[in-house]
Structure 1
């Protein structure tokens, strides 16, 4: 099974999710999205796999979301902000095949791994 985790190594929940994947005997592709950044098309594809709008993956309470006024923004504005500020995307996101899920809490990793 191919597993990819969009990971922030400074986030305890992201580190816990990565550990759970490895504990399941899987070595995932680890994408440090704060370094690699996002593209609009990449985010759209990832959110489509997760079955969620961009708003559902937005870290609304953390900077710079409040400063950018994203609480009431439309999807296009949110996507643009996520590309410009990768930290705005909720973490971790685990992707397997045609599925993706925000694994917060980290125990949600099991749902993604079970359904491959």
Structure 2
């Protein structure tokens, strides 16, 4: 089983469910508040890999929802600086195991990467904030 570094927004319902899935699979977690980490370009960039810039962002962040920030119009450096200045913009969770980093909680990707228990009929969306549907 893996030691997982898990960056979350405390109180996030989906982050709580994601952590439970990882723990139920036998992984140990080091959990950090994504909003209070002193992010730098070098520390944040590896989590996004080859993903397109819009996939780096939390689509439910107020500045995204309002249209104040349009991720598809940003270059890499600007996107990173915006997220460092306002970590609410960062898609959650950020996960690191060893030197491998990723953003978001794609169940199939995590199953093949570090393993998850049989999830049976888990089909709920574990990435979109359920509070946005109110």
**Partner residue, 1:56:** 55
Aligned CA RMSD, in angstroms, stands at: 2.3
Offset of 1:96 from its aligned partner? 1.1
Instruction: For 2:102 and 2:45, locate their aligned partners in 1 and report how far apart those are by CA, in whole Å.
Output: 13
Instruction: For 2:103 and 2:80, locate their aligned partners in 1 and report how far apart those are by CA, in whole Å.
Output: 16
Q: Deviations over 1:58-91 (max 9, x none)?
A: 1245212322344412111111100000011111
Map 1:96-115; keep pairs closer than 5 Å: 96-105=97-106, 108-114=109-115
**Partner residue, 2:5:** 4
2:59–2:91: 8 Å Cα contact kept in structure 1?
no
2:91 counterpart SS class: coil
Offset of 1:54 from its aligned partner? 4.1
Q: Describe the shift of the 1:95–1:47 C-alpha distance in structure 2 as closer, same or farther (beyond 3 A).
A: same
Q: Describe the shift of the 1:11–1:37 C-alpha distance in structure 2 as closer, same or farther (beyond 3 A).
A: farther
- The TM-score, its normalising length taken from structure 2, stands at 0.69
When structure 1 is superposed on structure 2, of 31-40 and 14-23 the one drifting more is 31-40
Aligned length: 112
**What are the ranges of 5 or more consecutive residues in structure 2 without an aligned counterpart?**
116-134
Offset of 1:106 from its aligned partner? 5.4
**Partner residue, 1:14:** 15
Instruction: For 2:71 and 2:52, locate their aligned partners in 1 and report how far apart those are by CA, in whole Å.
Output: 14
- The TM-score, its normalising length taken from structure 1, stands at 0.78
**What are the ranges of 5 or more consecutive residues in structure 1 without an aligned counterpart?**
none
**Partner residue, 1:45:** 46
1:53–1:75: 8 Å Cα contact kept in structure 2?
no
Instruction: For 1:13 and 1:26, locate their aligned partners in 2 and report how far apart those are by CA, in whole Å.
Output: 17
